[in-house]
Amino acid sequence: MNESPTSIAILLLNREVLFQPNFEILNPKLKMPPQIPKPTKPRNCGPPFTTPKPTNKFYFFYGHRNPSQNRPTVRGGLFSNRQTLNPNPSQPKPTTKPFNIKNWDPHFLSNPNSNPSPSTLSSASLRLSPIARFIVDAFRRNDNKWCPNVAAELSKLRRITPNLVAEVLKVQTNHTLASKFFHWAGSQRGYHHNFASYNALAYCLNRHHQFRAADQLPELMESQGKPPSEKQFEILIRMHSDANRGLRVYHVYEKMRNKFGVKPRVFLYNRVMDALVRTGHLDLALSVYDDLKEDGLVEESVTFMVLVKGLCKCGRIDEMLEVLGRMRERLCKPDVFAYTALVKILVPAGNLDACLRVWEEMKRDRVEPDVKAYATMIVGLAKGGRVQEGYELFREMKGKGCLVDRVIYGALVEAFVAEGKVELAFDLLKDLVSSGYRADLGIYICLIEGLCNLNRVQKAYKLFQLTVREGLEPDFLTVKPLLVAYAEANRMEEFCKLLEQMQKLGFPVIADLSKFFSVLVEKKGPIMALETFGQLKEKGHVSVEIYNIFMDSLHKIGEVKKALSLFDEMKGLSLKPDSFTYCTAILCLVDLGEIKEACACHNRIIEMSCIPSVAAYSSLTKGLCQIGEIDEAMLLVRDCLGNVSDGPLEFKYSLTIIHACKSNVAEKVIDVLNEMIEQGCSLDNVIYCSIISGMCKHGTIEEARKVFSNLRERNFLTESNTIVYDELLIDHMKKKTADLVLSSLKFFGLESKLKAKGCKLLPS
């Protein structure tokens, strides 16, 4: 039915009236509907008309509709873009993060309540692909051991790629499991390892110190139809080089060149030679250099410098200069860094003549030395006793306007003081201060010691006060020369004043006095040091450590009684002796023949839960052997070897002799004695007493006499000593027999009956 435009307009107007809402129901406060302004122009003759936006009225909204994928932008319209206000807004749904397969780990799938955070997972496992994580988890569930369960789980995978194998091997911590997995993957149908998987296995084996197995990978690659390239050998060489395994580097190099016919590049040649030079195999490095020339390769500057450094380390200076000349002809002149490196190698070795020759070569090449080269050279010459040549280089350095380091000043000052040229050292100190530096404590200590050696103690004391004013925190090394000088000159008043000043400055005076007396005893002897100590005892400057120093030094010069008098004096001062004190007392008492008192000192050490010294063990054991207490001496031998990590060799052979006596054959004991003599071990009374102890316990008197007669024939024993040890053998056998009879009587309960009859076999 055809309708005219006028009728269509009337229908649209009626629809607006019919569908107009009841505003009184929507909003009781509103009596009249909002007036909608009439459009001034028809809709099809311009842009859409705009309507005023009602405020706080949410029943209609006029404006632009939000565009979407299925609806284009709509402008205007009565019902377009309606908004409603929900009085009961629903709770917002929790936002769930989308599943990311990269964060998947089957280890946590068995526990759904667990929420693993990235921090709980290892960084290596987070970087793995999902299939690689599945393989690693299969290993983990089976205790990282290859078993049929692991193979069954891996058979679920449809396809294994070489890159996947390499990915798993990179994070594997068990080299055995890694090898099994590598071979299992190689046995799959249609699978072939690539260079990445071979390299990953090499890294895994080397990471777990299985470098010998890693060296066999080239043979494995060749057997599987994948000949190794230079890259595989470079990996092995780099691994051995980083671990300083020079011979292994050469082994891989020989295999690479001779067995597989792979010729290295110059870079790899340099790496092989550098590893051999660093590990002390210079001759092998030179043979590798010959191979480089045979292959027709051209040397680089690194090649020459590796050889030059190696020759410098071995002191082969003429050959080093020859290589330097070859470097100039074929390539270029060495720079200042190369020459400085050579000097730094030669200085610690003490080869100063070679250092000067290298310095002349540097001048010949017109290479200007830098501050580091000057400092290395001057310090090396100063410490090597050639301070005058170092001082000339110092003046040359100053003339060029180079910045002189404080280390150079310190080395020159120390060297001048050692030669007694203190005035020159003070001139350097003035130059140091005028250059804007502040002298360190080491320089002041050298100057104080030099002044004290020249008996200029007053000036040295003023220098010490200067260190205090400048806040350099002087220590014992600073005041040691002053204390020694005051003690040598017997200026005890100034000595005590210095001690008081040290105490005010926070010095540990008692501990420093122990160090001082150690120096004084070593320099002047214990007698002179005791005189100084006698004047300090009145002021309470005593300690156990000081007494130990004097007792030990007096025992060494044979003044045993004076040492024991100090031991008694220490106990009178209520000082508690330590284990070192008792050990020194044992040595002194054994020298005087007072074995019982020495045993009492040993017991005191044991009561203190300490261990005697090896010297105390040896001395007390020999003393017990001298008085015939053989069983107690052997007990001390066992105690010493059980408590001391490196006991005397005589003690070790004593137990070997006792063990040889169990056979009751004199020849076996003589064989042990011959071995002792070959090892340079002396035959003393401990060895002879061990023969007596072993034969009396396990053998017979006749076999023991055969051993002593053999030693007598070989002039290891004099005739008088042979008689003494024979009597000692008989007495010890009687004692052992009596002990055996007494033990039998006690075992059978006959001791009381024999005591009643007054038997003389039993002790009263």
More confident residue, 609 or 335: 609
Residue 700 covered by a domain: yes
Band of residue 357 on the pLDDT scale cut at 50, 70, 90: confident
Show the tokens assigned to 348: 């610690």
Verify that 683 and 748 share a domain, yes or no: yes
Band of residue 140 on the pLDDT scale cut at 50, 70, 90: confident
Q: What pLDDT, on a 0 to 100 scale, did the predictor assign at position 129?
A: 86
Residue 414 identity: E
Q: What pLDDT, on a 0 to 100 scale, did the predictor assign at position 245?
A: 92
Q: How many CB atoms lie within 10 A of CB 101?
A: 8
CA 378, CA 392: separation in Å to the nearest integer?
9
Q: Torsion over CA of 639, 641, 644 and 650, rounded to 10 degrees?
A: 120
Instruction: Characterize 37-70 residue by residue with b for buried, 16 or more Cβ atoms within 10 angstroms of its Cβ, and e for exposed.
Output: eeeeeeeeeeeeeebeeeeeeeebebeebeeeee
Q: What pLDDT, on a 0 to 100 scale, did the predictor assign at position 757?
A: 55
- Give 527-548 as a DSSP string: HHHHHHHHHHHTTT---HHHHH
349, pLDDT greater than 90? no
Q: How many CB atoms lie within 10 A of CB 30?
A: 12
Verify that 666 and 726 share a domain, yes or no: yes
Residue 745 phi, psi dihedral angles, 5° rounding: -65, -40
Chain segment 621-653, per-residue pLDDT in tens: 999 999 989 999 999 999 999 998 888 999 999
Chain segment 709-720, per-residue pLDDT in tens: 999 999 999 999
Show the tokens assigned to 254: 């020989």
CA dist 491 to 24, 465, 484, 554, Å?
120, 19, 10, 24
Is residue 147 classed as helix, strand or coil in its secondary structure? coil
Under 8 Å between Cβ of 304 and 340 = no
Q: What pLDDT, on a 0 to 100 scale, did the predictor assign at position 409?
A: 92
Instruction: Characterize 225-252 residue by residue with b for buried, 16 or more Cβ atoms within 10 angstroms of its Cβ, and e for exposed.
Output: ebebebebbbbbbebbbeeebbebbbbb
Band of residue 748 on the pLDDT scale cut at 50, 70, 90: low
137, pLDDT greater than 50? yes
Verify that 757 and 656 share a domain, yes or no: yes
Q: Which of 596, 620, 640 is the last residue of a domain?
A: 640
Total domains in the chain come to 2
Verify that 657 and 760 share a domain, yes or no: yes
Verify that 684 and 662 share a domain, yes or no: yes
Q: Which of 639, 607, 645 is nearest to 620 (CA)?
A: 639
Chain-centre distance of CA 654, in angstroms? 39
Residue 211 identity: F
Verify that 707 and 622 share a domain, yes or no: no
Verify that 689 and 760 share a domain, yes or no: yes
Residue 680 covered by a domain: yes
Residues 6 or more apart whose CB falls under 8 angstroms from that of 93 comprise none
CA 503, CA 79: separation in Å to the nearest integer?
99
Residues 6 or more apart whose CB falls under 8 angstroms from that of 137 comprise 105, 106, 107
Q: What pLDDT, on a 0 to 100 scale, did the predictor assign at position 126?
A: 54
CA 628, CA 731: separation in Å to the nearest integer?
9
Task: Give, rounded to a whole angstrom, the gap between the first and last alpha carbons of the chain.
Answer: 154
Share of the chain above pLDDT 70, in %: 81
Residues 6 or more apart whose CB falls under 8 angstroms from that of 248 comprise 211, 215, 240
10, pLDDT greater than 50? no
Is residue 169 classed as helix, strand or coil in its secondary structure? helix
- Give 288-315 as a DSSP string: HHHHHHHTTPPP-HHHHHHHHHHHHHTT
Q: What is the average pLDDT across 120-130?
A: 60
Residue 679 covered by a domain: yes
Residue 444 covered by a domain: no
Show the tokens assigned to 607: 């009561």
Q: Which of 361, 358, 399 is nearest to 377 (CA)?
A: 358
User: Is the four-CA dihedral 734, 740, 746, 749 of positive or negative sign?
Assistant: negative
Share of the chain above pLDDT 90, in %: 43
Alpha-helical regions (H) of 699-718: 701-713
Q: What pLDDT, on a 0 to 100 scale, did the predictor assign at position 88?
A: 54
Residue length, the chain?
Answer: 764
Chain segment 149-191, per-residue pLDDT in tens: 888 888 888 888 999 999 999 888 888 888 999 999 888 888 8
Verify that 606 and 662 share a domain, yes or no: no
Under 8 Å between Cβ of 160 and 185 = yes
46, pLDDT greater than 70? no
Q: What pLDDT, on a 0 to 100 scale, did the predictor assign at position 603?
A: 94
Verify that 631 and 715 share a domain, yes or no: no
**What's the pTM?**
0.64
Q: What is the average pLDDT across 54-63?
A: 45
By mean pLDDT, which of 67-76, 298-307, 409-418, 420-429 is the weakest? Answer: 67-76
Q: Which of 640, 665, 682 is the last residue of a domain?
A: 640
Verify that 631 and 741 share a domain, yes or no: no
Residue 195 covered by a domain: no
Q: What is the average pLDDT across 11-19?
A: 42
Q: What is the average pLDDT across 410-436?
A: 91
Residue written as token pair 């009728």: 7
Band of residue 443 on the pLDDT scale cut at 50, 70, 90: very high
Chain segment 209-264, per-residue pLDDT in tens: 898 999 999 999 999 888 999 999 999 999 999 999 999 999 999 999 999 999 99
CA 437, CA 485: separation in Å to the nearest integer?
30
Under 8 Å between Cβ of 245 and 279 = yes
Chain segment 556-578, per-residue pLDDT in tens: 999 999 999 999 998 888 789 99
Q: Which of 607, 640, 673 is the last residue of a domain?
A: 640
Q: How many CB atoms lie within 10 A of CB 742?
A: 15
Residue 591 covered by a domain: yes
Residue 381 covered by a domain: no
Q: What pLDDT, on a 0 to 100 scale, did the predictor assign at position 69?
A: 60
Verify that 702 and 635 share a domain, yes or no: no
Verify that 679 and 749 share a domain, yes or no: yes
Under 8 Å between Cβ of 761 and 739 = no
- Give 52-88 as a DSSP string: PPPSS--S---SPPPP-SSS------SSTT-----SS
Residue written as token pair 């998987």: 197
Q: Mean pLDDT, the chain, as a whole number?
A: 82
More confident residue, 54 or 504: 504
Chain-centre distance of CA 92, in angstroms? 58
Residue numbers of the domain that contains 586: 578-640
Under 8 Å between Cβ of 595 and 623 = yes
82, pLDDT greater than 50? no
